[in-house]
Copies of this chain bind each other. A is one copy, B any other.
Amino acid sequence: MNFPSKLIESAVDELAKLPGIGRKTALRLVLHLLKSEAEETTDLANALTKMRNDITYCQYCHNISDTEVCSICANPLRDQTALCVVSDIRDVIAIENTAQYKGLYHVLGGVISPIEGIGPSDLNITSLIERIPGSEVKEVILAISPTMEGDTTSFYITRKLRELGIKITTIARGVPVGGELEYTDEITLGRSIVERTSYNKL
């Protein structure tokens, strides 16, 4: 695609580096910005730059935060006995949005993946093991995606935590709400039957 302006071209090039945005979409976004008030572009550019430069990570849970200790870790009303281990910041947002969990978090920053060259030392596992002794944590909930890499990571963490003598749980596997039985894979369906719950618990 040829552009009549180098300015447009470089804006399109930069936008098209973002995941899931091709050059056609990038051009659409650029032309939208051109039609809108100049202020809108300035606000967008400032918000992105400020976010990227000023963001910090919580020194306890490694979640993104505006302060040294994030709002979850700093909140005394949260259940200090439960610690939910997730691989990504997005998982914290997803679990928080369920409003079903009131404990603390620990963000690993990925999963163990030998193919991508990610080993245990590249993840926030040491800080996880170090924060538990001396804390009130009684239960560690492993909320890691049940993929090959996720399961490896869960297994590794379980082995490391075993000697601390705390309860280790994992999120339930089963048929998703709204899911159809016939389209559920056999492993999920199998687990869902084995780990069936009493009807009045639902």
Residues of A within 8 A of B (CB): 1-8, 10-11, 13-15, 17-21, 25, 27-34, 38, 40-55, 63-66, 70-72, 88-90, 92-93, 96-97
Taking A8-B51, A10-B51 as given, write out 8 further A-B residue pairs in contact, using a Cβ cutoff of 8 Å, ordered by the A residue number: A2-B93, A10-B47, A11-B47, A11-B50, A15-B47, A41-B49, A41-B52, A45-B45
Q: How distant is the Cα of A13 from the Cα of B50 in the complex, in angstroms?
A: 13
Majority secondary structure of chain A interface residues (helix, strand, loop or mixed): helix
Tell me whether A5 and B55 are in contact (CB under 8 A): yes
Residue numbers in B under 8 Å from A47 (CB-CB): 7, 10-11, 13-15
Tell me whether B14 and A34 are in contact (CB under 8 A): no
Residue numbers in B under 8 Å from A34 (CB-CB): 51-52, 55, 64
Tell me whether A71 and B4 are in contact (CB under 8 A): yes
Q: How distant is the Cα of A6 from the Cα of B71 in the complex, in angstroms?
A: 11
Residue numbers in B under 8 Å from A51 (CB-CB): 5, 7-8, 10-11, 30, 33-34, 41
Q: How distant is the Cα of A10 from the Cα of B70 in the complex, in angstroms?
A: 17
Residue numbers in B under 8 Å from A66 (CB-CB): 5-7
Residue numbers in B under 8 Å from A48 (CB-CB): 11, 14-15, 30, 33, 41, 44-45
